[in-house]
Structure 1
Amino acid sequence: MADVLLIERSADRVVATLNRPEARNAIDQAMVDALHLLCAELEAIPRVLILAGAGGMFASGADIAQLRERRAADALRGINTTAFARVRALPMPVIAAIDGVALGGGAELAYAADLRLGTPTTRIGNPETGLGIIAAAGATWRLPQLVGEARAAELLLTGRILDADEALDWGLLNAVHQPADLLPAAHALADRIAANDALATRYAKRALLAQAAEHPRIDLELQAELFDRPEKHERMTAFLERRRRS
């Protein structure tokens, strides 16, 4: 049986490809389990994560055949919710490379990323209410943060699917690239992230994810730790030397 999550590792990043093209990369229990294993690895050895999908699509949603059989106790376990929250909380940035559809649970996985890139064929949204359920794996609280409450309500209450141009206009996508350029663009973002100080990047993400009540205390505490590191002095000295020579 083929791996449902194909993983390519390098020193500063991991590319994870959802690999159930015969099921439009629907997120099943095996894929959730694989995401948990990957998150454990990236929690221990932080690197940028690029999420992509095989077969010209990101993910069509949760696996409906499995979802149909789940009951109240399964809902309370938060099967997808827990995995996506773990992706969201990874120490280093997560980039979603979205070719084709990202619907339902697939959209919620994309919302858990820090940066989202698409292609002209990208379609993203949450049609769950048409199936008699709600988007309960992150959309109801992450979408308002991403696009505002009114637009989030429109997507979640109507089941509307955005095309690439609309998603870019709404801020759900950071950029749109041709399919052949999508992964190179994701790697280019990862290159820019990797060129910066890794701990500063991790702390910037931690501050971004903090609750409003934690600011500015958390920012100042993180900054205080960074101020006392030799890396700060070295990078600032190199910057001043470059400016002096220019």
Structure 2
Amino acid sequence: MTDYRTLLVDERDDRVVVTLHRPDKRNAIDAEMVDELHAVCDKLTREPKLLLLTGGTDGIFAAGVDIAQLRDRDRYDALAGINHGIMQHIRSLPMPSVAAVDGPALGGGAELCYACDVRICTDRSFFGQPEVRLGIVAGAGALYRLPQLVGESLAKELLYTGRRLTAADALAVRLVSQVVPADELLATAHALLDRMAKVSPLALRLTKLAVDAPADAHPQIEQLAQAVLFEDDEKRRRMTAFLDRS
């Protein structure tokens, strides 16, 4: 992949590891980072691989959107959906994404996590949407993704007050699937991706497509996905191997 200024990008055979890298700004999401994340997503759309998104293990995931830039944006910038667009791009990737969070994930940083398919974090992580305290709304997906993830009542409380969830809170409400020590975060994330990498790539893609489809598209989309997979040589190979082991 090309050179980046706000990201560290490690492309591997079956996955791409993207580390947010604006340490002097606590990984705040600015326009340049948005553009670079789009560039990564463009390639992952053309050449599907798993995605690991992290801020590393130095105690900061992303402290939100760069407030200096956000303060100067106007109504036309809001309507352009600058930050919402990258969250949707990540969400719509053909292969699954995992967010590995160490430290704060606030505002747009939290919304970046919500856009990923699976979230794990360290015991010093916390999540929050402080936008109302700054006179705006959470405009990059939290208003509808957070209720889906933690339930409407809790999501409304968090969005209305800016209250933060600790790692323990996040695990209790299943916002994250695991809480691990900081020195185990990336190894745990890679182990999770290793398990995904062992399954049928086409079955994985179609499972993600079906899970993310609108409710009124079910069950037809599952039937279509299954019809495609029933004709796939990988299905016959895997089932034959299973039967031969029995």
Q: TM-score range by the shorter chain?
A: over 0.9
Aligned mate of 2:48, from 46, 49, 53:
46
Q: Which runs of 4+ in 1 moved over 3 A?
A: none
* Residue matched to 2:60: 57
* Residue matched to 2:120: 117
* Residue matched to 1:181: 184
Matched, 1:145 2:123: no
* Residue matched to 1:107: 110
Deviation at 1:56, TM superposition (A): 2.2
Percent identity (aligned): 53
AA matched with 2:54: A
Aligned mate of 2:17, from 15, 18, 39:
15
Deviation at 1:239, TM superposition (A): 1.0
| Aligned partner of residue 90 in structure 1, secondary structure | coil
* Residue matched to 1:37: 39
Instruction: Give me the whole-angstrom Cα distance separating, in 2, the residues matched to 1:8 and 1:238.
Output: 33
| Aligned partner of residue 58 in structure 1, secondary structure | coil
Query: Once the two structures are superposed, what CA deviation does each residue of 1:107-143 show, in whole Å capped at 9, x if it has no partner?
Result: 0000000000000110101010000001010001101
| Aligned partner of residue 136 in structure 1, secondary structure | coil
| Aligned partner of residue 199 in structure 2, secondary structure | coil
Query: Structure 1: which 5+ residue stretches go unaligned?
Result: none
Instruction: Give me the whole-angstrom Cα distance separating, in 1, the residues matched to 2:63 and 2:6.
Output: 14
| Aligned partner of residue 160 in structure 1, secondary structure | coil
AA matched with 1:125: G
| Aligned partner of residue 171 in structure 1, secondary structure | coil
Instruction: Give me the whole-angstrom Cα distance separating, in 1, the residues matched to 2:18 and 2:129.
Output: 23
Instruction: Give me the whole-angstrom Cα distance separating, in 2, the residues matched to 1:121 and 1:15.
Output: 22
Deviation at 1:190, TM superposition (A): 0.5
Instruction: Give me the whole-angstrom Cα distance separating, in 2, the residues matched to 1:60 and 1:223.
Output: 41
Instruction: Give me the whole-angstrom Cα distance separating, in 1, the residues matched to 2:15 and 2:221.
Output: 27
Query: Structure 2: which 5+ residue stretches go unaligned?
Result: none
Instruction: Give me the whole-angstrom Cα distance separating, in 2, the residues matched to 1:225 and 1:93.
Output: 19
Deviation at 1:150, TM superposition (A): 0.6
Aligned mate of 1:130, from 129, 133, 144:
133
| Aligned partner of residue 193 in structure 2, secondary structure | helix
* Residue matched to 1:5: 7
Aligned mate of 1:221, from 219, 224, 234:
224
Instruction: Give me the whole-angstrom Cα distance separating, in 2, the residues matched to 1:173 and 1:153.
Output: 18
* Residue matched to 1:206: 209
Deviation at 1:221, TM superposition (A): 0.5
| Aligned partner of residue 51 in structure 1, secondary structure | strand
AA matched with 1:225: V
Normalising by structure 2, what TM-score?
Answer: 0.97
| Aligned partner of residue 232 in structure 1, secondary structure | helix
Deviation at 1:2, TM superposition (A): 7.3
Query: Once the two structures are superposed, what CA deviation does each residue of 1:182-240 show, in whole Å capped at 9, x if it has no partner?
Result: 00001001100000000100000000110000000011001100001111011011111
Aligned mate of 1:171, from 151, 171, 174:
174
Query: Once the two structures are superposed, what CA deviation does each residue of 1:75-131 show, in whole Å capped at 9, x if it has no partner?
Result: 000000001100000000000000000000000000000000000110101010000
Normalising by structure 1, what TM-score?
Answer: 0.97
